[in-house]
A and B are shown apart, each in its own frame.
Chain A
Amino acid sequence: MNHLRSFVRRTAVRLSVSQVKSRQFLQRSVVAVGSLAVLGSCATNAPQDTWQPKGPNAKMIDDLQQPVFAVAGIIGIIVCAAVAYAVWRYKDRGQPIPEQVHGKPALEITLTVIPALILAVVGVFTFRVIFDLARTDDTQLVINVTGQQWWWEYDYPVQNEWGITQPIISSGQLVMPAGVKVLLRETSRDVIHSYWIPALNGKRDAVPGRVHTLRLEADEPGIYAGQCTEFCGLSHANMRMEAVALSPTDFAKWVANQQAAYQTPAADSLAKQGEDVFLNQCVRCHQIDGLKRADGTLAIAAPDENVWSGAAPNLTKLMTRNTFAGAMFDLLRNACRDDVWNAPSAEFGAKYLAGVDESCLNVSDLRAWLRNAPEVKPMYANPALLADTNGKYRGMPNLGLSESDIDKLVAYLLTLK
């Protein structure tokens, strides 16, 4: 009998300790998750924060979502509190089951009408914002945007009012004038992608065969980060983009530079040898406007013969951009990059237009990319596994370049400014 009592006591103690531990674990978990959520909202370096609009289009969305979130939050708190109260107040304490009543028309109508009214008010303002964001008649600058696995191409149609007298084609970074209503005309070459610069506007899908429009406008010069938001394959997470807003004066300088004639590197220089390597290897897919072969003919890339999407980034003026490989890597070293990103608006244009020089070049990532691109960015670029794409690559393959060739190419690419 004593044994039995002892066993019951020990078991009760064990159970009691176990319950206390479980409760402590639960409490700590709730505190940890809550702390993370609170601390997460305190992040200052969050370039893709949807709550920090930097242009009128994003502000329109923000002005809508702030009150909607507030109303939804208040209603959420009221509902949760009511549920918690009901759970606590009427939990089973052995009391008799209360009288079961069915039908309270006044209450039911009220509880139907109030949400309907709230939604109607929200709907009115939402539709207004949707229509405002769909406007195209006030466009000041048009830029075509084409998505493909896994980078964005930008081409600027001829627009004499902006000094664009011949098409400009670029990739990775969208350059636009600040304070100007820009209209992106989006499409895709392969699968559906989605263009999103959170600080400047919402998302818009880029769909093959269709042209969708997206308004962008930045209040101040600066760089605004974005990310493809439609899952598009292996390197979707690495399909980034940056919108660079310049003052109209700086934008004019950028336009002029982009249209400037190609400069062949000095004879017998390392860069000149790099040009030869480019002509032998890279020009199969990558276009550099104005680049000529030894016989004087224009070197015209043929990505349609080698790449599944039919295009590869145009590398004309590559070193005027700050990123490469679908904006996955920076062309600038960290210190130089921070210098540009954190520059005051007034100084930003000059720093950005300075481009990339040898002292600031992120040479390690660039060399790694040239050495074996698929190793640093997941792509379908294994020559043995291209049966489904008729031998065409989705991404840059390993070209098997020697270290000497890479030296030459880096020297050559540095001249593309």
Chain B
Amino acid sequence: MFKAGSKLFLGLTGFSALNLIAYIVFVERLALGGVALSMVFAAFVGLSAVVLITNEGDSETQPRDAALTRTSMWPLVTVVGVVLLILGLVVAQIYFILGIVVVLAALTEWLVLSWSESASDDVAHNESARHRLLHPIEFPVIATLGLGVIIFSFSRIMLAISKSAGAVVFMVVATLVLLVGTWFALRPALKTALVSGICVIGAVGIVAGGIGGTGAGLRTDLAEAAAEGHYTHRECGEKKSKYFDKKAMKTLSLRSNAAAIIELRDGKLSAVVNGFATPQRSVTAARGNPVTFIFRNFDSAERRMVASLGSAMPAGTAEAGDDEHSDKNETCTQLIPQGAEQGLTITYNKPSIAQDMPLTLTVPGLPGQSIEVVVP
């Protein structure tokens, strides 16, 4: 029952189990390394099971009086993997990870190939044994990688061309795929070479387009957005911020159940709070709880609402610790035109009595207009 191949895999399984146990006992139970070693162990268990179930390709029924070997690419691939691995140690982690993957894959292929070539003196049988063992792994992996390359290449094309051109390209490609697929389905007698050739040409075309798209780079608006980082920081002044105020949202999808609606009308700021018949000059916000204020600008000029956050910085605000662009402890909406509205969600972790200054909602450029936020 246990022959050379199964002994090898069972040995590797035991070795990986020992490694895993040693890691758990001596290093750390829930670390990433433990998970990785668990995966290695599981992989060897799987391979051992396959080898045992297939009885090593029924090799016992075959004569073993010859050892036929052919040229193999796996030593070369292993070397490439090792190079990537060493390169990754110097350059970037991604190469290191890629190197590990390539080395493991190449060694597995090499190992199985060597084993299959020594299974019998029948080359076809040996090849069949190898296929039985590795095809269930190779085909899904290759298909996944191939699809990944196609999808990635297509995404590069779409990111490089304009929005309208992208829509056209998408429709053309989708139509072509549908038509060619239909043709294949209606003509089952088509030659395999023809079908394969068409598929390869299509795939190569998309990959070539992806390479071209990568070379051309992102289209202008995406490149600008990436460079500017629209929402990475907030600039809460009276003037329009080049980055933060770009393409300001003018409406909300969720208006109900806000803590208060802060309205700017005729240069005056007021708070509409459900339950109070008249506009309020102060609103109450529960401590340690996200509260949403909706700011509505009825002023003819573009305005923003600024919330001062007091001397104790609340958690959960985007600008916490962002002293690069502002020395004030505040957050704000974008600058919005007349008739527009935006929401601002804030968590006040400390009460008003813990603040040096009152917590307020204000509009830059409108002195004297302020809504006090009371945090009991």
Contacts and interface: CB of A to CB of B under 8 A. Distances in A.
A157 B289 CA distance: 16
Given A187-B289, A189-B286, A303-B288, A169 B276 contact: no
A304 B287 contact: yes
Nearest to B288: A310
A213 B275 contact: yes
B289 A189 contact: yes
B274 A146 contact: no
A163 interface: no
A300 interface: yes
B343 to A, nearest CB: 11
Given A158-B282, A167-B374, A167-B376, A304 B275 contact: no
B350 interface: yes
A142 interface: yes
A153 B286 contact: yes
Interface in B253-309: 256-259, 273-277, 282-284, 286-292
Nearest to A169: B376
Nearest to B282: A158
B286 A187 contact: yes
B277 A139 contact: yes
Contacts of A298: 353
Given A167-B376, A300-B354, A304-B350, A209 B277 contact: no
A209 B286 contact: no
B353 A300 contact: yes
B317 interface: no
B351 interface: yes
A210 interface: yes
Contacts of A183: 274-275
Nearest to B257: A210
B155 interface: no
Size category, A interface: 35 or more
Interface string A283-294: 000010100000
A311 interface: yes
Contacts of A144: 284, 286
B326 to A, nearest CB: 23
A209 B345 CA distance: 9
B349 interface: yes
A289 B350 CA distance: 14
B286 A146 contact: yes
A56 to B, nearest CB: 17
B40 to A, nearest CB: 27
A144 B288 CA distance: 14
Contacts of B315: 304
Nearest to B273: A142
B347 to A, nearest CB: 8
A303 B349 CA distance: 9
B346 to A, nearest CB: 11
B275 A139 contact: yes
Contacts of B354: 300
B257 A310 contact: no
A142 B275 contact: yes
A157 B284 contact: yes
Contact of B288 (A158, A168, A189): A189
A202 to B, nearest CB: 18
Nearest to B349: A304
A211 interface: yes
Contacts of B290: 208-209
Residue among B349, B353, B374, B376 with the highest chain A CB neighbour number at 10 A: B376
A322 interface: no
A155 B376 contact: yes
A187 B276 CA distance: 17
Given A157-B284, A157-B374, A298-B353, A185 B289 contact: no
B257 A212 contact: yes
A311 B287 contact: yes
A139 B278 CA distance: 11
Given A167-B374, A212-B257, A304-B349, A137 B286 contact: no
Interface string A141-157: 01010100000010101
A350 B137 CA distance: 82
B259 A211 contact: yes
A126 interface: no
A158 B354 CA distance: 19
A273 interface: no
B272 to A, nearest CB: 11
B260 to A, nearest CB: 9
Contact of A211 (B257, B277, B288, B351): B257
A357 B353 CA distance: 30
Nearest to A210: B257
Interface in B237-266: 256-259
A311 B257 contact: no
Residue among B256, B275, B345 with the highest chain A CB neighbour number at 10 A: B275
Given A155-B376, A158-B374, A167-B374, A309 B286 contact: no
Interface string A36-47: 000000000000
Interface string A175-213: 000000001010111000000000000000001111111
A259 interface: no
A48 interface: no
A292 to B, nearest CB: 12
Contact of B274 (A153, A155, A211): A211
B56 to A, nearest CB: 47
Contacts of A210: 256-257
7 contacts: A139-B275, A158-B282, A185-B274, A189-B288, A300-B353, A303-B288, A311-B288
User: What 4 A-B pairs come out closest when comparing CB atoms?
Assistant: A310-B288, A210-B257, A304-B349, A183-B275
Given A137-B277, A210-B256, A304-B315, 8 more contacts: A139-B277, A155-B376, A157-B282, A185-B275, A207-B257, A208-B290, A289-B353, A300-B353
Interface of A: 136-137, 139, 142, 144, 146, 153, 155, 157-158, 167-169, 183, 185, 187-189, 207-213, 287, 289, 298, 300, 302-304, 309-311, 314
